[in-house]
Structure 1
Amino acid sequence: MGILYSIIIGAIAGWLGSVIFKGHGLGLLWNIIIGILGGILGSWLFGVLNISLGAGWVGQILTGAIGAIVLLALINLLTGGRRV
């Protein structure tokens, strides 16, 4: 159940991050990948900064979405604005 939960949270966070950053989704698979990686990045970043967005799935989605936005910004810098 843990992997399925991570995929669902990652998909929601990735979609939310891509909507906020780009204005459109990247597709289900990319949303899941970006969301899961964004969740890892967001958890690390907020841990370093000693910030908590709350417990539970809402905090995880927000952390993942913010991490996804940071990740999408880095990808945008590296690709020169081309779509992934």
Structure 2
Amino acid sequence: MHLIGFIILGLIAGWIASQIVDNGGKGPILDIVLGIVGALVGGQIFLALGFAPGGGFLYSLFVSVVGAVIILVAYHALLGRRRL
């Protein structure tokens, strides 16, 4: 997948994960970062569980969202839900 594809997938996964975890995005940049990190984390988790890499866009999106949810929960656990 090309860099632009990773960014788009990261944006979508980060936004979906933000909606699942706290019903609000963290801003486009943080959503992209969380989505990309989530894709890496999710990929490693699914690989460790014995799932083969690949599978198309929907599989990649699912794996990325699962990883991004995990990252977002850890983000909230470490930094708390501070409101200004």
- Give the structure-2-normalised TM-score: 0.88
Structure-2 residue corresponding to 1:45: 45
Note the C-alpha offset of 1:26. Answer: 1.2
Give % identity: 34
CA RMSD in angstroms, aligned pairs only: 1.9
Matched residue, 1:34: 34
- Bigger shift: 73-82 or 22-31? 73-82
Q: Which runs of 4+ in 1 moved over 6 A?
A: none
- Alpha carbons 1:10, 1:31 under 8 Å: kept: yes
Q: TM-score, normalised by structure 1?
A: 0.88
The amino acid of 1:44's aligned partner reads Q
For structure 1, which runs of at least 5 residues remain unmatched after alignment?
A: none
1:64 aligned partner: 64
- List gaps (5 residues or longer) in structure 2: none
For 1:12-37, what per-residue CA distance to the aligned partner results, in whole angstroms no more than 9, with x for missing partners? 00000110011111111111100000
- Per-residue CA deviations over 1:26-59 (Å, capped at 9, x if unaligned) read 1111111000000000000111112369711111
**Distance in 2 between the 1:64 and 1:6 partners?**
10
